[in-house]
Every structure is written in structure tokens, then in C-alpha cells.
A and B are shown apart, each in its own frame.
Chain A
Amino acid sequence: MNIDKSHMDKVIHDLKHYLPSQAPLKDFIHHNTLHAFQKYDFHVGLNKANKIFGYKTYLQIEDYRRLYNEGKINKKIVERFLPENDSVLWWNKLLNEKFDENSSPRCGELRSQWKINYQIDLDSLVHPTLFRVLSSYLDQGISIWNFPVIKGGFLNSLKELESNQFVSFFKSDRVKKLLNDEPSIAFLLKILVGDEQYFEHYLFDQQFSHPGYSGMVSVLSDNTKALIDERPIKLEDFIIFELLLEIDALDNYFGSIWAPLGSKINTVITPIFDEVEKTELTEIRRIWQESFEWTYYDEVLNGLVNKQFSEEKNAQLQAVFCIDDRECSIRRYIESEHKAAKTFGTAGFFNVEFYFQPAHSDFRTKVCPAPVTPKYLIKEVETINVNSKDFHYHKSSHGLLLGWIITHTIGFWSALKLVGSIFRPVQNAAAVSSTRHMNPESELTFENRNGEKTDDGLQIGFTVSEMTDRLEGLLKSIGLVKDFAPLVYIIGHGSSSSNNTHYAGYDCGACSGRPGSVNARVISKIGNHPEVRKELKQRGIEIPESTHFVGVLHDTSRDEFAYFDLSVLSTENLKRHNENVIVFNKALDFNATERSRRFVVMDTNRNTKKVHSNVKLRSVSLFEPRPELNHATNTLCIVGRRSMSRGLFLDRRAFLNSFDYQVDPEGKYLLGIMNAIAPVCGGINLEYFFSRVDNQKLGAGTKLPHNVMGLIGVANGIDGDLRTGLPSQMIEVHDPIRLLAIVEHFPEVVLKTIQTNPATYEWFDNDWVRLVVIHPETRSLMLFKKGAFTEYQTNNQNLKQVDDLLGELIKEHNNLPVFELKN
């Protein structure tokens, strides 16, 4: 073999880089679907992805033209992107010329030669066996009779299984022998393809004919702990198995003598990663996309600089929410219902990073952002087990004789359950409820006094000074360092839904796809801790003794609050709290009503209580594919004081992160914020973006026919590849617009901050997230472009003022413009 191993290793490494990196369903975390192209400028990357893999990365020209005709793309904005001298010509191209938008991807071209030159459809001969064996191996608990051997990895287990000598997955004797010879990938490629120049291209073609399974293997090979029931596997093993199956199919079809693919190629196959040409179409797409985005950005920026700038008042109620865009509207309602209320936003793990171990479980779950590896464990103790059961998932119903008895008896019970679940949906064992994450009556081992550690070195709970560090970090980063209200609510969020395979994507992204309830409770306990307060005082933050922190969980699909540990409140504070609850409940009713306008079928009317109870039903209804719309429509991330955005209607499209430049003049805390929002908010935004523009290849398609494979992924039907990305029900109302981060600070500080971390800087530098800074003193807008800030002038439209928001909401179920709210 003259092809060296390091070359093949590099190909495997590249493959892993380009394959989808979606974790098993239980850990669904949003990320930039095209992360592999992030090293290029946004438009260059999109063009490459289109040409190489055939992904649709923009809307169709027809769609942009329709948006233009509907006034959703502004003429003046388009003109900014046209060359000055021949704008007439370009207008004609934009509006009238017909373009060939068909894509002919490079990936897949080489392997299609099997069909052309050999008249053999390898995929349909190989895929069913390949998928079935892999999914049985990885299966986490659907099959009753598990893969009989899990020993020494995928290929070794297969070998052991094949040793039975009666039945085999292969037909060809040569292949059966090959399996035992531990062949290398290069060796098998030599048989199949022959010509070494095609090896890389062939592997890409092959693996991208089923990116779902390959991506899953790639993820699991890097992190075996991603599965509860561990399954060691390497991408190389999987590829070898597939190559063997291909040789087997060919042997079976042509006998043992056939010429390798490379010898029969008589056309020019462009190497997969050759330079991608820019065409006129790519330019047209760029102009339309930028115009579409800037039409919206301009409206928002215009609103931010033209609205009344309200100075902060002394607050009677303070509430810290997650940065999540779904909290954008509830904050608005709380503030309008309670004039002396002030809300904050920050990443929803509230600066406490740890593993959480529920009572009665031997497993831990990470409740902080995915890239963080915590050193702490917090256990839930002193509680009873409240898991309920449902026999419909029980294995015995699939047995022969037990099944016979069950169908004769319980089968009729199913009929009643069916009627019940259709006419009177209620919370049930099968549904996901955000409140089940943690029992509110339980105790949490959040404090470490004697240095207890677990066997594998995790510290149980935080020490007092560690707690103080975290509380200080939280308060300083959101700019809450004085004027504490008597009650400070820390509100995490989670989501309840039914019959939802993607449930993990509905919870808090900053808590690794889990509800933020434990974090909210822990940080509140820390905030109420007398010793922490004492130490905090020494560090310059004085929290009055009369102030209490209250942990809360906001269920975003049901719009309910659950309050934790109210027993620590003083009598006055309990009274205040009861008054606040009335405010919260009213705000939740309004919030549910605002959300309901997107559900179209729901009757939106002024009776907010009634609408709210209908909204709650969605979360427990089996037949409801949209319990909530999750992050759909997200486009903004505002980092600054609440006064910047307070009173502005942003239609639940903004991630809101509180930050006060006065508290952090050097950008120390800003760095943490920017490091988080680029991958978290940017990741969410781009996953929605790409799932929206190509819901078939980059999204998961409609979820209605989805079939659960091995509890790790979904596929269509039983022979399909795993589907990655988001289902169409999650993205259908989303407009593909990149995230615009708006930061209130001095441009030079922001520039220095984002440049500190190259990984973060890449997001902004290559325009995958756009960045505008609002100068805190002059209030002028500075746009980040090619490594520097330049002043940005808005189109100066009139900012519409609205009295009756509810009236506006009822009128329209699509995106609403930016309003200034008058009351």
C-alpha cells in the first residue's frame, strides 16, 4: 500500500468535520449546521456548501422577489448593495431575470458512476442492512433482544456475531474472509475504487449518502458517554463495514471478477474541495439576502435609537430571566403590569455550572452550557420517587403469549385511553413535563463544607467562597450591584410537551437542553446564604437583609411559573410575593395570548384567561406537533441595560442579555457574555436558518412520519437515514435572517473583547453573526465590518407608537414591525 495511513487519517478527520454533529435525541443541542464552513466568509461558505454538498443555502430568488413585492424587503436598502453606476441593470437582474437555480453537487458525482457504468444501485442493496445493523448495535432500549455482542467495538462485535457459520450478513465468501483479516480502509478502497486519486472523494460520496447515521457515529466516536448504555464505535469501523457490504453486493452481482470503479471513469470528476467559482447567481443571492436582513435590522436599530430612553427607577420587584428569546415577551408584560418591576436577562444556568443527580437515579446530567465541563455535582436528596408507568411502552406487549392476553384485555383499555387522549388531554406518563426534572420538595446538596468529593473527583456542592464568586459574577455581568428590591426572582425555564421526540431542544440551551429549575434554585439559595452575603459585602456588593432571592421555573409551553423554597421568605416578603404572583399570572395570560396568534387555528380573542387554558392543552395533547414554536423567528441579541429596549415591541425575536457598561468598563464580564452568545444564540439562529432554507437536507423534514430509531434519532419509515436538524413544524414561521448582536459599550472595548478569543472572533469576523455597537454616550450606531467599526445611519423611518398591543396582536399572525409601546 503506497497510500500512507496519515493521509487516510486526515480524510477521516475531515469527514468528521463536515458530517452533521448532532448528538442523540436526549441531548439535542442547537449548533451551526454548517459549522465546517465557518472558517470562510458567510456568503463564500454558503456558496461552497451549495456547490460541494448540494445544500440549498438561500431562499429561492422567487421567494425574495415575493418578499420584495410584499414590502418585506425595502427598496432603499437594496440600493445600498448595488453598484452605483449600473443599478438599472442590476435591478433588472434582481427582479426579472431567470436564473438556473438547480444544483449539481460534487459530492455524490463519483459514486454515481456505479449506476452509469455498472448499472448497479449500490445504495438500495447496501443501505438497509447497513442501517439496520448499526441501529441495532447502538439501540438504547427499543429492541427486546439486544445486539448479542458488545465487545471491543463495532467491528469486533460483528466479527464475533458472524462466527456462527450458519447465517451471515454477507453472501460473498471473499468478503467473509476479508472481515476476519482486519482490512484497512485503503485496502478495501483499492479493491472497490482502485485509483488512489479518488479515495477521498469516494469516502465523502459514500458517507454523505447517509449523513445522519455517519454523523451519529462520528459524534459517538468522540464521546461514548453520550449514550447511557455505552456503545464503543469508531467511524473507521463503520466505513469498513460499509465498504465490505459494497464489495459483497458487487461480488454477488458480477461474480468475483469485476473492475474497480476508477478504471471505468471516462468523464472528468471535479475533486470535491476544488475552488468554487463565484457566479452572477451567487451575487444576486447575496444582495437579496443582505437586503432582506438589513430591512429588518434597520427597523430595529431605528427603533432602539429613536425610542424614549427611560432612566432606571428604584425597583420594587426584580426578576432575572434567561437570555432566551422566548422570555422576551413575558418580561415586557411583567414590566407593563408592574411599573416598578425591572427585569434582567442572562444565560439561564445563572453562572452556576454543575452536574445534577436526581434522587433515585445513578446518572448525572449536565446543567450548564455544552462546552463547559463542570467540576461540581449537586444531588437531589430526601424525596420520594414519583415516576408513573404506562404499559403501552412495556416490552411484554410485543411478546407472543403475553401479547395474546394483553390484546384480549388491555387492548380495550387502549381504546378508552385513545378516546380520552383525543377528547380530554391530560398530563400523562408519556408526556414530558418541565416540572419533573426536579422535585421542588427535595433538598439540594449545594453547599460543600468538608470538601466531600465523589469517586471520580467531582466536588459535591460549592464552598462559600466559590458560591460568592458565582453570585458576584452573575450580578456584575447583568449590572445588578445596587438598589436591590425586596424580592429578586431568578427564573429558569423549561418546556412541557407530548409525543415530541425533539423535547430536549425545547428546554434551556444554556443548561445543555435541560430545564433551568435546579440552577435557579441553587443560585437563589446561594443568594440567600448569610455567609455568602457577608463575603459579597467585602467585595463591594451589599445586599440588604430584607432582600430575598426566589427561584422560579417558567414553563414556556404552558406559560406557568413554579416557585421554589418560599418558606425562607419573611412575612412581609411573603405578602409582597403574593401580590407579585397576581402580576405574574396576568403577565402569563397575556404572554400565552401573544404566543397563540402564531398558532393560527387557535381562536385569539381578548379573553386572555381562556386563551391561556387552551394554550396549556397543547402541551399535553398527543396530536399537537407544535406545543410551542420554540426559538422560531429569533434574529436579535441585545446586550446592554434594559432601558435600551424597555418599552419596545420586538415580537419575541430577541435574546436579551443585561449588561451595564458602567459596571464593567474594561469588558471583563462582556467577554464571558460574548463567548456565550456567539455559539449559543448564534448556533440556535443558524440552525433555524439552515433548517428553514433547506428543510430536506439540513432540516429533518416534517415530523409527522418520524419513526424513532434506537432512542437516539428519528428516521422516516424503517429503512431511512437518521434525520438531522429541525423538523418543519419548528421552522415554518421562521425568517432566515442572521443574528444581529447589538452591544451597548464603547466600540474599542468591544473590539478588544471579541478579539480576545479567536473562536468567538471568527463568528463576527466572517459575518456568521452580525454585530452593531451602540455608543453609550453619543448613542450612535457602529457596524462591525472586516475587523473594524464604521458608523451606521438608519433610514430614519417613523417609529410607530401603539396603545393597544392586544389589538395589533389579534389582527396579524405573521411578524409584526417594531413598535414603541405607549403605556
Chain B
Amino acid sequence: MSAFIPFFILLPTTAFLLSMLIPKAQERIMSILAYSSVGLQLLAAIGFSGFWVYNGMRPINLKEFSVYKTGNYDFFIDFYFDKVTMVYMILGAFVTFLITIYSRYYLHREEGYKRFFTTILFFFLGFNLIIISGNIETLFIGWEILGVSSFLLIAFYRDRYLPVKNAVKVFSIYRIGDIGIILVMWLSHHLWHENISFAKLHNAELVHEHLTQNSWVGLVIAMMIYISAAAKSAQLPFSSWLPRAMEGPTPSSAIFYGSLSVHIGAFLLLRMYPFWEFQTGFRVFLAISGLMTAVIATFVARVQSSIKSQIAYSSIAQIGLIFIEIAFGLEEVALIHIAGNAFLRTYQLLVSPSVVSYKIREQFYEFVPRENTIEDSWPKRFEYALYILSLKEWNLDSMMYRYLWNPLKKIGSSWKILNFKYVFYFAGSTVIAGIILLFFRDSIDEKYRFNLPIFFSLVGLMIVIKAFTERDSVRKSWTLIALNHITIAIAISFNEHFDFMHHVWYLSGIVAAWLFGLLLINRLRRIEWVSLDRFYGHVYEHPKIGFWFLISALALSGFPITPSFIGEDLIFSHIHNNQIGLAFFTALSLIINGLATIRIYARIFLGPHVKTYHEVAKRSS
């Protein structure tokens, strides 16, 4: 029976790959492929679940295969199926199936029909990979796919400014969620001394034993899980991204932000439940944060004058309640709540355009001039203040700017005195110096050697911040990103003796992606002006170069299409569990690294086209 599980991944993978091959003009074939494959998944999921329930509902763990194994390090793909998986799988296939049929007509003649369905299938693959994953490594692959497909669907109308801007914004919040997962993976290595599977987490004794030995590690892991879950499920303090993600065609907003993607945070919590079950402090924290989100999001929802943001905040509020239910260990209640919320918001989003005719008609017949709300009975000053605060979304969006992007920008621009050329040469020479130093690694005094990793990781961080804030040269920024990876590799090499092959794993994909990307940029530069000071929208005339550049950008940021992905995990396994600083800087480097590459892609290829011989939308639209 368990042998059937890989089918749930193979089917979406095949459908996704096939969809890439279908010619653009073939709307019919494209949509048939999409809904029939998802429909098949739905039938299979229902059949399988029925069989599984009949057989006593025992969780299934299936270690699929090892991707890379050395010493006590084993990167393996693992699948797990339990009640939570079952609910999410049927829910996901059901909603996606309906949405593909819906979109079949809805998107007829839309520019990007194929792109839409391919992205939906890609998303579907990522979603299933997450929910069926048996260990955190497998989950992370799906997690990354979900992030990228989200980016692509928010920026579906890539020739307008706001969708692209918001796609980058949402992507960056997702990257924060990724930090959480990366650090969880790192700490887990040290906690369990292996890449642990979720099945083993159910061994309460084992978990308990490890946690009592390392109680702070347990708490940090739990908090990291919370950050990842909160980012994906738009809980405090990340909530403001959800309404801003509603830039794509309505059905894609419905499936992503109404139902499936937004409940993945809750899934992560449910999946890791056995891990934090005995950490009372964390459970209290989770419940309180859920309650705060629920209350604040409700007020924000109440003042929204746009239908989609109202639905978004209502959904966030319900997910806040779901977090409370999870904190109390009410798994079944949470699952029912998740399904109900997903269905309700999906439908509300799909019928949202009808709200005009419905409400206008209702008003026409039953107009009540101004309904008194509960807030009207409060003291005026308090009422007004709360209203303004809610309208400003409790400053959640501006907070993201103030505490995340502006500091980065400030750091980047404070080095403006450092001419970009110097930074470039400095980075280059540091890397060369580092490599030379490495040969004499063992003769370096212990005292210095201990600090070298931190030093190099800081240099790496500086390099990547510079790459992220660069406003001019594409090629230099692109190269700095690659150098960032190399600096990280050097930093870790000072930390510990390890197999040279690990470097090969890590850097092979990076170097290839860097070269390929450089080639594409050069090609584009021969025909067009490119720079990073604004959005150029070159995808309008050069969609092919754009596509391949996206691939190389993903590869350069360590997306699971090259061995570098495993390399990243390997690199972390060489950071000791007392080197929080090193782990943090390295993780931060990787996060900004991913942002910098996607930013380069967005700036060159997306946004309003720099040429205006054709229709170009206003920036504000």
C-alpha cells in the first residue's frame, strides 16, 4: 500500500513537465492536461484515503531514496502519510481541480494562459511535496517550489508595476520563512545527529530525552518553526503581505491566498506538533500570538473598503483561531476549521466581482443610511484612533520597511563611499586570499582560526548586501552573488575539516548558474540597455532570454534544481551548534542572496516595459 505514495508526487511532476512542452497556442490541450491530472490525483487521493482509513489509519512512513550520503550525513527523500496529510491532500486536489476547470474558461484568450496553468501545476507539485514529506529536507524542497510559484503568480501581470513590486515583497517575506526552516534543519542535525524523519518525532521518549538535554535548542527550533509558519500563514507580524498578494487573476488568488498556500503554516505546526507538544511555554506563546492576530486582523478586516483585502484579513483572523486550536492540541477541530475556511474564502473570492450588483441591489431596496457599529458606542477619541490604526493595518506594512528593507538599504548605501568597483575588487581579493589561506589552514593559530569563519561570513554578508542594493551594473551584482556563495564556502572550510566533495556539491551548481546567467546578460546587453535602477520589462520583447535567466537565477540562489541545494544543507551541517552567530549570518546571507537574484530578474525582465511604442500601464494601476 505504501508503495503507492510516490504516485502522488510523480503524477504532478509529470503533469508539470508535460505542460512545459505544450505549445502556447494550445489552450485546450493545456487545460485538459491540467484538470485531468489534478482530477486523477483527487480520485487517487480519495481512493487511497478510503483504503487507509479502512486499514486502521496507521501513519505510513516511507524512506524513498538517499540523494547524497557520506559518513553520518544522509540527505534522503522521505514520505509520510497520516490524518493531516490526508485532509490536506484531498482538500488541495479538490480545490485545485475546481479551480483548473474554472480557469479553463475564465482565462480564455488571456495572454499567459499557458504560463498560468504551468505555474498552477508547479504550485500543485510543491503543495503535495510539502504535505506528503517525511522529513524536513523533503518538505523544504516543496516549500521552495511554493515560494517561487507564488512569486510567479503574483507577478502574473508582469507588465505592470504593482504586481511585480508586490511579488518581490511577498517573496521576501517568504524568504524570512525560509530562514526559519534552514535553521530548523541546522539545529535538527545537531539535536538528533541525523536528518530525522517526522515519523521518529512521534517517538515521545526520544524527543523528550533530547529536549531535556538541550532545552534551549528545543525552544529555538520551536520558535523558528513559528516564524516559518507565521510567515506562510500571514500571522503577526507578517500579515500585510496577504492582501497584497492578490494581484493575479481572481482564481489564482482564490487557490493560493484564499485556501491552500495560506494554510501551509498551520500544516507545518501540525506536522511538528510532537516536537513542541511538551514545551508549554511555546504553546502559550502560540495561543497568545494566534489570539492577537485574530483580534487585530478582525479590526483591519472591518475597515477594508476593497472586497479582496476584506476577505484576506477575515481569513487571517480565522487562521489566528486555527493557531489557537493547534496550540491546544485540538488537531481535528483545526483540520475541520482549515477545510471550512479554505472552501468559504475560495468561494467568496471567486464570486467577489458579483458583490457590486448584489450589494447595490440590496441597498437599492433596503437602504439603511448608516448602520451603527459597536465602535460608535466607544469614546470618540478612542474610536477615531482605532479606526486610523486599523486603516493603516496597524503599521504592519510600514514596519516591514522600517525594520527590514530600510536598514539593508542603509547599510548598502552607507558603503556608497566605497565605490562599487572597489567593493568588487575587495570581494574578489578577499576570496582569493581566503582560498590561499585555506592551504595553510592547519598552520594558523587556533585563536585566529576560530574567528576566521565569522570574518568570512561577515564579508560574505557585506558582499551580498552590496549586490542587493546595487542600482547600476547587472553583471557586477550578479557576480557578487556568486562570490557570496564562495565566501560562505571558505568560511565553513575554516570551521572544520571536511570532504572536498562537499564544496563540489555546493559550488558546482552555483558556478554553472553564474556563467549561464552572465552569458544571457551579455546577450541581452548587445541589444538592450540594462541596469538595476528601475524595472525594464524586457520580457515583453525577449521572453526566451527571460525564461532562461529565471532558471539561472533560481539555480544561483540554491533552488532545488542543482546539487547546490543539497550543498547548502551540507554546509550547515558543518556549523557547530554553539556557533549561532555563524549560522545566523550564513542563513541571512542565503536569504538576501535569494532576494538579490530575484530582484535582478525582476528589474531586468519584469515591470512596465521601458519602451512605450505599445500600451504600457500607468505605474499606479
Distance (Å) between the CB of A15 and the closest chain B CB? 17
Q: Report the minimal beta-carbon distance from A680 to chain B, rounded to whole angstroms.
A: 23
Task: Tell me whether A384 is interfacial, beta carbon within 8 Å.
Answer: no
A708 touches which one: B249, B337, B355 (CB < 8 A)?
A: B355
Does A409 count as interface, using CB distance less than 8 angstroms?
Answer: yes
- The answer to whether the Cβ of B13 comes within 8 Å of any Cβ in the partner chain is no
Can you list 13 residue pairs at the A/B interface with Cβ under 8 Å?
Answer: A123-B619, A142-B304, A142-B355, A145-B390, A162-B388, A163-B384, A229-B363, A358-B364, A392-B348, A397-B344, A408-B336, A709-B305, A711-B355
Task: Enumerate chain B residues within 8 angstroms of A623, measured Cβ to Cβ.
Answer: 102-106, 251
A169 in contact (CB, < 8 A): yes
B384 lies within 8 A of A418 (CB): no
Give residues 233-284 of A contacting B (CB, 8 Å): none
Tally of chain A residues near chain B (CB < 8 A): 123
The docked-state distance in angstroms from the alpha carbon of A1 to that of B337 is: 63
Contact yes or no, A143 B304, CB < 8 A: yes
Chain B residue at minimal CB-CB distance from A432: B357
Interface pair A228/B364, CB less than 8 Å apart:
yes
A141 touches B102 (CB 8 A): no
Q: Which residue of chain B is the closest to A707 with respect to CB atoms?
A: B308
Cα(A142)–Cα(B310), bound, Å:
8
A132 to chain B, nearest CB (A): 6
Is residue A814 contacting chain B, with contact meaning CB distance below 8 A? no
User: Are the C-beta atoms of B107 and A704 separated by less than 8 Å?
Assistant: yes
Q: State A216–B191 Cα separation when bound (angstroms).
A: 61
Known contacts A706-B353, A708-B353, A717-B163; A697/B618 CB under 8 A: yes
Once A393-B358, A707-B306, A715-B306 are accepted as A-B contacts, the answer to whether A145 and B351 lie under 8 Å apart by CB is no
Q: Tell me, in angstroms, the Cα distance from A25 to B321 when the chains sit together.
A: 36
Instruction: Give the shortest distance, in Å, between A131 (CB) and chain B (any CB).
Output: 8
- Cross-interface CB contact of B244 among A144, A417, A719, cutoff 8 Å: A719
Is B50's CB within 8 Å of the partner chain A? no
* B507-532 contact mask (Cβ, 8 Å, vs A): 1 or 0: 00000000000000000000000000
Tell me which residues across on chain A come within 8 A of B617, comparing CB atoms: 696-697, 701
A498 an interface residue at 8 Å Cβ cutoff?
Answer: yes
Chain B interface: which of A34-42, A499-507, A604-612, A789-797?
Answer: A499-507
A400 touches B294 (CB 8 A): yes
Interface string of B269-307 (1 = CB under 8 A from A): 000000000000000000000000011001101111111
A22 to chain B, nearest CB (A): 14
Q: Contact check, A209 vs B619: say whether CB atoms are below 8 A apart.
A: yes
Q: A624–B104 Cα gap in the complex (Å)?
A: 10
Across the two chains, which residue of chain A brings its CB closest to B108? A601
Q: Find B243's partner among A141, A404, A503, A718 (CB 8 Å cutoff).
A: A718
A102 located at the interface, meaning its Cβ lies under 8 Å from any Cβ of chain B in the complex:
yes
Quick check: is B614 within 8 A (CB to CB) of the other chain? yes
Q: Mark A397-438, 1 if CB is under 8 A from B, else 0.
A: 111100110111111101101110110000001111000100
A503: nearest chain-B partner, CB-CB: B357
Q: Give every chain B residue within 8 A of A704 (Cβ-Cβ).
A: 106-107, 110, 249-250
Tell me if A390 and B306 are in contact (CB < 8 A). Answer: no
User: Is B306 touching A709 in the complex (CB atoms < 8 A)?
Assistant: yes
| 17 further interface pairs, Cβ-Cβ under 8 Å (given A409-B340, A704-B106) | A133-B391, A136-B391, A142-B359, A143-B302, A166-B381, A361-B365, A406-B340, A408-B337, A419-B98, A501-B353, A501-B356, A623-B105, A702-B111, A708-B352, A715-B621, A716-B621, A718-B308
Closest B residue by C-beta to A365: B364
Chain B at the A interface: SS class: helix
Chain A residues whose CB sits within 8 angstroms of the CB of B249 once the complex forms: 702, 704-705
Whether B621 lies near A696 (C-beta < 8 A) is: yes
A613 at the interface (CB under 8 A from B): no
B309 / chain A contacts, CB cutoff of 8 Å: 707, 718
Taking a contact as CB atoms under 8 Å apart, the answer to whether A711 and B362 are in contact is no
Alpha-carbon separation in the docked complex, A161 to B111 (Å): 44
Residues of B participating in the A interface, judged by any CB pair closer than 8 Å: 94, 98, 101-111, 156-157, 160, 162-163, 165-166, 243-244, 246-251, 253, 294-295, 298-299, 301-311, 313-314, 317-318, 321, 336-337, 339-344, 346-348, 350-365, 367, 369-371, 373, 375-376, 380-392, 397, 611-621
Whether B375 lies near A56 (C-beta < 8 A) is no
Within 8 Å CB of A138, what residues of B?
305
| A625-B351 contact given A228-B364, A403-B318, CB 8 Å threshold | no
Chain B residues lying within 8 Å of A181, measured Cβ to Cβ, are none
Q: Tell me the complex Cα distance, A392–B383, Å.
A: 28
Given A430-B351, A500-B357, decide whether A140 and B363 contact each other with a Cβ distance below 8 A: yes
A89 part of interface (Cβ distance < 8 Å): no
List 6 A-B pairs, minimum CB-CB distance, nearest first: A411-B340, A101-B613, A430-B354, A164-B384, A166-B385, A139-B305
Instruction: Say whether B621 contacts A695, CB under 8 Å.
Output: no
For B616, the chain A residues whose CB sits under 8 A away are 696-697
Please give the distance in Å from B400's CB to the nearest CB on chain A: 13
A123 near B389 (CB under 8 angstroms)? no
Is the pair B387, A622 in contact by a Cβ cutoff of 8 Å? no
Q: What CA separation (Å) do A228 and B347 show in the bound complex? A: 28
A589 within 8 A of B: no
A286 within 8 A of B: no
Q: Quick one: closest B residue to A130, CB to CB?
A: B620
Known: A697-B618, A705-B250, A707-B352. A136 touches B357 (CB 8 A): no
> A404 → chain B, closest Cβ, in Å?
6
Q: In the complex the two chains form, is A212's CB within 8 Å of B621's CB?
A: yes
Residues of B within 8 A of A129 (CB): 392
- Contacts A161-B384, A212-B621; is A418 near B615 (CB within 8 Å)? no
A476 within 8 A of B: no
In the complex, what distance in Å separates the CA atom of A100 from the CA atom of B355? 44
Q: A705-B157, A716-B157 are in contact. Are A422 and B101 (CB under 8 A)?
A: yes
Cβ distance A766 to chain B, nearest Cβ, rounded Å? 25
A360 CB contacts on chain B under 8 angstroms: 365
A696/B318 in contact, CB under 8 A: no
Choose from B343, B388, B611, B618 the contact partner of A415 (Cβ within 8 Å). B343
A675 at the interface (CB under 8 A from B): no
Q: Is the CB of A148 within 8 A of B384?
A: yes
- A423 nearest CB neighbor, chain B only: B101
A390 and B357 CA atoms in complex are apart in Å by 12
Q: Is A721 touching B620 in the complex (CB atoms < 8 A)?
A: yes
Is A197's CB within 8 Å of the partner chain B?
A: no
CB 8 Å contact bits of A110-128 with B (1 = contact, 0 = none): 0000000000000110011
B295: chain A residues within 8 A (beta carbon) = 400
Q: With A54-B612, A392-B347, A717-B244 known to touch, is A407 a contact of B318 (CB < 8 Å)? A: yes
Complex Cα gap A703–B353 (Å):
10
Q: Are B306 and A429 in contact (CB under 8 A)?
A: no
Q: Quick one: CB contact mask for A195-236 with B, threshold 8 Å, 1 for yes?
A: 000000000000001111000000000000000110000000
Min CB distance, A63 to chain B, in Å?
10
Minimum CB–CB distance from B112 to chain A (whole Å) comes to 10
Docked-complex contact A717 and B337, CB < 8 angstroms: no
Contacts of A124 in B (CB 8 A): 165
Residues in A whose Cβ lies below 8 Å from that of B361? 387, 436
A694 close to B (CB within 8 Å)? yes
B2 CB to nearest A CB, Å:
29
Query: Closest chain B residue to A703 by CB distance?
Result: B353
Interface flag for A710 (CB, 8 Å): yes
How long is the Cα–Cα vector from A145 to B383 in the complex, in angstroms? 11
**A145-161: which have CB < 8 Å to B?**
145-150, 160-161
Q: Is the CB of A168 within 8 A of B314?
A: no
Contacts of B360 in A (CB 8 A): 25-26, 140, 228, 711
CB <8 Å contact, B391 and A26: no
Contact in complex: A412, B340 (CB < 8 Å) = yes
Residues of A within 8 A of B613 (CB): 60, 100-103
User: A102 touching B355 by the CB < 8 A rule?
Assistant: no
B344 touches A127 (CB 8 A): no
Q: Are A721 and B618 in contact (CB under 8 A)?
A: yes
- Nearest opposing residue in chain B for A719, CB measure: B162
Q: Could you tell me if B337 and A696 are in contact, using CB atoms closer than 8 angstroms?
A: no
Q: Is A565 an interface residue (CB 8 A)?
A: no
The docked-state distance in angstroms from the alpha carbon of A113 to that of B261 is 41
Give CA–CA (A512, B251) in the complex, Å.
32
